[in-house]
């Protein structure tokens, strides 16, 4: 692990994150020790090492919390995506607490925050997260099968730990998203769709694998391609799952699902009693 001093902790959003409506991204780390076989972040210019070593290095911005203290006023009330080039709940976050330090620093400025993670460690920070008035915690749960998870993302946390953490976040009254992204092979489409629907997440996102024959950086890597082919999972299976899920929940696909939580005003209005509520 490398520790660096960074000059900035909030960067202007670009690409699909910008198109989704975010103004800022926040990355306490570069690299990612979860090392998923299909990871597109491995090809991003911010992650400057060769994709071949992806998953085996991590750089921590040791001054992240201090920077957030200084720079938080510029993101006040604005949509922030955390994180865009890595996962903010890396295993080393348990000791370093950079993500937590940033959350504490930005809390008084109330950005519209989206946290995107595979890390159950997010539940550690519920005490801070509860103070954000416009927030969504998106958990990536890309399959129902831990056997499949171990093939595609062997170093990432087990699926049940993610469900458990997301349950705790939800029970604390924090809006949550379930991101079946990228949608990995699913063992039991009906059971998984039912589980997601019964969980009642605020947002559900699915995303099929890119397939451009390896012609661009964010394309599905050869390891993931081979795994998909070996399992015999393809676009028709993805479509069958999404159609089944749509029986019970609204499903956003691909980048359409990555949008900020409602503004503080609209979130408050949505929870205010309506005339109709008075009569039920």
Question: How do strand 176-180 and strand 135-140 relate by DSSP bridges?
Answer: parallel
Closest CB to ligand SF4 among 87 and 144?
A: 87
CA distance 29 to 59: 6
Q: How far is the CB of 182 from ligand SF4 (least distance, A)?
A: 9
**For helices 64-71 and 98-106, what crossing angle results, to 10°?**
10
CA distance 179 to 218: 18
Q: How far is the CB of 89 from ligand SF4 (least distance, A)?
A: 9
SS3 at position 10: strand
Residue 74 has φ and ψ, to the nearest 5°, of -75, -15
Binding site for ligand SF4 (CB under 6 A): 32, 34-36, 39, 41, 86-87, 118, 153, 156
Sheet with 29-31, side-by-side order of all strands:
2-4, 58-61, 29-31
Q: How far is the CB of 215 from ligand SF4 (least distance, A)?
A: 20
The secondary structure element, H or E, covering residue 240 is: helix 235-245
The secondary structure element, H or E, covering residue 58 is: strand 58-61
Closest CB to ligand SF4 among 111 and 221?
A: 221
Closest CB to ligand SF4 among 59 and 110?
A: 59
Closest CB to ligand SF4 among 58 and 204?
A: 58
Closest CB to ligand SF4 among 110 and 114?
A: 114
Q: How far is the CB of 220 from ligand SF4 (least distance, A)?
A: 12
Q: How far is the CB of 37 from ligand SF4 (least distance, A)?
A: 9
């Amino acid at each position: 692990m490398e520790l660096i001093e960074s000059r900035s902790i909030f960067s202007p959003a670009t690409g699909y994150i910008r198109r989704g409506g975010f103004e800022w991204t926040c990355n306490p780390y570069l690299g990612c020790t979860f090392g998923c076989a299909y990871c597109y972040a491995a090809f991003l210019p911010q992650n400057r090492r060769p994709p071949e070593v992806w998953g085996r290095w991590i750089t921590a911005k040791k001054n992240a919390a201090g920077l957030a203290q200084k720079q938080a006023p510029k993101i006040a009330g604005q949509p922030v995506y955390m994180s865009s080039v890595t996962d903010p709940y890396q295993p080393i976050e348990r000791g370093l607490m950079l993500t937590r330090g940033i959350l504490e620093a930005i809390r008084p400025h109330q950005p519209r925050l989206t946290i995107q993670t595979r890390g159950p460690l997010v539940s550690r920070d519920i005490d801070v997260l509860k103070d954000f008035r416009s927030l969504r915690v998106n958990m990536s749960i890309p399959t129902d099968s831990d056997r499949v998870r171990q093939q595609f993302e062997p170093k990432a946390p087990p699926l049940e730990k993610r469900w458990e953490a997301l349950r705790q976040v939800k029970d604390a009254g924090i809006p949550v998203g379930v991101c079946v992204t990228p949608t990995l092979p699913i063992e039991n489409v009906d059971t998984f769709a039912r589980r997601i629907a019964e969980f009642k997440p605020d947002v559900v996102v699915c995303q099929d694998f890119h397939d451009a024959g390896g012609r661009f950086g964010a394309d599905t890597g050869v390891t993931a391609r081979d795994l998909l082919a070996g399992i015999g999972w393809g676009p028709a299976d993805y479509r069958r799952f999404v159609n089944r899920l749509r029986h019970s929940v609204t499903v956003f696909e691909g980048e359409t699902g990555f949008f900020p939580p409602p503004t503080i005003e609209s979130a408050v209005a949505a929870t205010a009693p309506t005339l109709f509520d008075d009569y039920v």
